[in-house]
Structure 1
Amino acid sequence: MDPDAARELKARILERLPSAVEASSAPGERDAPWPWVAVGLSPTSAGARVAVRLQRNGDRALLPDLGRVAAEEVDVKVIGPVRSLSSPGELQRRVRPLRPGLSVAHASVTAGTLGGFVRTASGLAILSNNHVLAASNAASAGDAVLQPGPSDGGRTADRVATLTGFQPMAAGVNLVDAAVAALDEDVDVAPGDLPGGPLLATVPARLDVDPDEAVEKIGRTTGHTRGRITAVEVDGVAVQYDALSSPQGIYRFDDQIEIEGRSGAFSAGGDSGSVIWRSRDRAPVALLFAGSETGGAAGTGVTFANPLSTVLAILDVEWCEDRPPPTGRTLASGS
């Protein structure tokens, strides 16, 4: 199916979902302001299909009758609950200079991942998720960020940065789970110290609907993993944040990217905040923030990520790949 035709079919499904949910729900039965149905585009060699992701098999009843021809263009998969990936995992040590992939977190959070570095109006900063650096909206500007995160042994003496900005997660539609923290003085960094070397300086404005796009990431829990993009422009991703109670802890995200691992899971708890890059050109494309434990071709779950271009635009920052920032801070050499 042509990608534009797939987008039209996606819009038809999303338009009919709210009435389908109301018709199938008993009073007080719904546990979230949006059904556990996410809809995006799944790339194919012929163009695209509509990707529908469900939490439960029973949610298939929520899908509207599209007719036989349209139904053949819909890829429906049950992936289970989607959760923020910030729970404790394999311990990570204190590392200097700082580099992407390390354990990092707000002092009240367990541990997530240092995704990369960005330039702000005042200097160099760490990029990760709101729920990693800003404690899921609970933090305040000026709070300490530790490396490693608290669940990995991080203490006050391990402070490396100061929370300076985050996009609050709201009850309506969200686009990103993102935050930045300005580096403290005398903290050395190595932005280009990643598997294979530095990433590109240019962040793609939008991902094309390409079949089987290979991607990689390095995260605090699962390390360096490879995967493929299985859907883009995914709307209605309902994510449960463990630090907050339901239903307030469930947030809807639109225009997301879905990824599956090449061999096993692409990510696990603690990998939140990882920056994902394209294998073919090492362009940074996304910021990992959530995933499921089931579903996907191998049954090992799927990962969701914010488009990195959207993250940078909303936070009003610039990507730093491997060059000294305007402040003159000395960067350590990558390995």
Structure 2
Amino acid sequence: MPHLSRQEVDRVRKVKSKQNEDTILRKENVVGLGIGIKMKNGKPTDKPALITYVTKKEPLKNLKDEDVVPEVIEGVDTDVIEIGIPTIENGGKADTMRTLPSNELSSRVRPVKGGWSVGHPDITAGTAGAIVFNRDESSQVKYYILSNNHVLANSNRASIGDPIIQPGSVDGGKGPEDQVATLSRFIPIDLTPDVRLEDHDNVVDAAIAEGSIQELDREVYWSGYVKGWIPKESVEVGTRIKKTGRTTGYTTGEILAVDATLDINFGNNQVARFHDQILTSNISEGGDSGSLVTDSENRAVGLLFAGSPQVTILNHIENVKNLLNIDFM
């Protein structure tokens, strides 16, 4: 995949205005909008484009006039890419879990490393992304498991102080013997029907749970130690990335789009619109939510939280760090 320069991204970003974004997101089957590279005959070109993501790509003859995406908007090429329905990637129902004894990181492990099964007792399972620490001026350093709100805080339903178990409940974890941390902070998620989709201000699905240094290890299994992070403005389309997660283990891919706005299915007839997201090639399945995604130099890029059969979706790690007030060891 070719890389996009910062200048190319900025040019498309000017066209991805609130007005244009709202107009496109109202079209039939549209679930997202991002900045990436235009595809032709299934292969990437070298042209930056404003990309519309749809659940299913339909022939033009089947679309109403108001649902057609113009080929060019304000001098910028567009593209339409089918990605299915983006959904949070927790474990799902226990009886539909994929069984891969050779790859699933679903065992009880101590100390806990990034990549292994973890979760609130009321969910099935997600992934411990990495071990992080508080970034405030307190002299007392505290250590946390980083993952998603929907993994550690049960999509806003949990209370601060709730137990976090490893492995997750679908993998046999039970309290109190498998408790490894307590929920410390989470960023609330705007969800329908409580908040109108157009009014959502979500940028992260993130939470942390405090544990003991005796039971937490800052290494990410199979990937290594995190060596810093990449600021948002330096995250580029075409960058090679990797992650370790509970269900699919160690996988690699590349960044397909940045500055994406996407409507994510949270189940129970709830949808959340997220802004400023990263889209990558598909590197995940249900249960991988919470995985930390890094580049080839082990610099943190994003926090995995959703996906579809075609793509994986990440929060920018800069947004996660700033909102949770954390840093990597």
| Bucket of the pairwise TM-score, normalised by the shorter protein | 0.7 to 0.9
CA distance in 2, matches of 1:110, 1:47: 42
Corresponding residue for residue 62 of structure 1? 67
Distance 1:78 1:191, change over 3 A: same
Q: For the structure 1 residues 63 and 182, does the alpha-carbon distance in structure 2 shift closer, same or farther, using more than 3 Å as the test?
A: farther
Counterpart code for 1:225: T
- Tell me: CA distance 1:256–1:69, structure 2 relative to 1, closer, same or farther (3 Å): closer
Q: Give the aligned residue type for 1:306.
A: N
Unaligned runs of 5+ in 2: 1-6, 38-43, 92-96
- State whether residues 84 and 291 of structure 1, in contact with CA within 8 Å, keep that contact through their aligned partners in structure 2: yes
The partner residue of 2:88 within 84, 94, 99 is: 84
Instruction: Report what 2:156 is aligned to.
Output: 137
Q: Could you state the TM-score of these two structures normalised by the residue count of structure 1?
A: 0.79
Matched, 1:179 2:207: yes
Alignment partner of 1:148 out of 155, 160, 167: 167
Partner of 1:229: 255
Which of the pair is proportionally richer in strand?
2
Q: Which of these residues, 305, 311, 315, is aligned with residue 289 of structure 1?
A: 305
Q: 1:204 aligns with which of 215, 230, 251?
A: 230
Match of 1:270 in 2: 287
Call closer, same or farther: CA 1:188–1:141 in 2, change over 3 Å: same
- Structure 2 distance, partners of 1:69, 1:315, is 37
Structure 1 residues 70, 277: closer, same or farther in 2, change over 3 A? same
**1:240 matched to which residue of 2?**
265
Corresponding residue for residue 101 of structure 1? 115
Output the amino acid matched with 2:301: V
- The answer to whether the 8 Å contact 2:132/2:218 transfers is no
Query: Is the 2:235–2:301 contact (alpha carbons within 8 Å) kept by the matching residues of 1?
Result: no
| Shift in Å, 1:86 | 0.3
Which AA in structure 1 matches 2:10? D
The one-letter code matched in structure 1 to 2:118 is: V
Give the Å deviation of 1:195.
2.3
Question: What do you get for the CA RMSD once the two structures are aligned?
Answer: 2.4
3-state DSSP of counterpart to 1:148: coil
Matched, 1:111 2:125: yes
SS in 2 for 1:4: helix
Give the superposition deviation at 1:10.
2.3
2: CA distance between counterparts of 1:187 and 1:47? 50
Moved over 3 A (4+): 43-47, 58-61, 63-71, 88-91, 207-211
Kindly indicate whether the alpha-carbon contact (under 8 Å) linking 1:80 and 1:292 is maintained by their aligned counterparts in 2. Answer: yes
Q: In the comparison of the two structures, how many residue pairs are matched?
A: 287
| % identical equivalent positions | 33
Q: Aligned pair in 2 of structure 1 residues 148, 193: CA closer, same or farther (>3 Å)?
A: same
- Tell me which residue corresponds to 1:4: 10
Contiguous gaps of at least 5 residues in structure 1: 25-34, 294-300, 321-335
Equivalent residue letter for 2:33 = V
Seen in structure 2, the aligned counterparts of structure 1 residues 67 and 97 have a Cα distance that, compared at 3 Å, is: closer
Please tell me whether the aligned partners of residues 2 and 46 of structure 1 are also in contact (alpha carbons under 8 angstroms). Answer: no
Alignment of 1:42-61 (within 5 A): 42-43=36-37, 46=46, 48-58=48-58
Q: 1:95: how far off?
A: 0.6
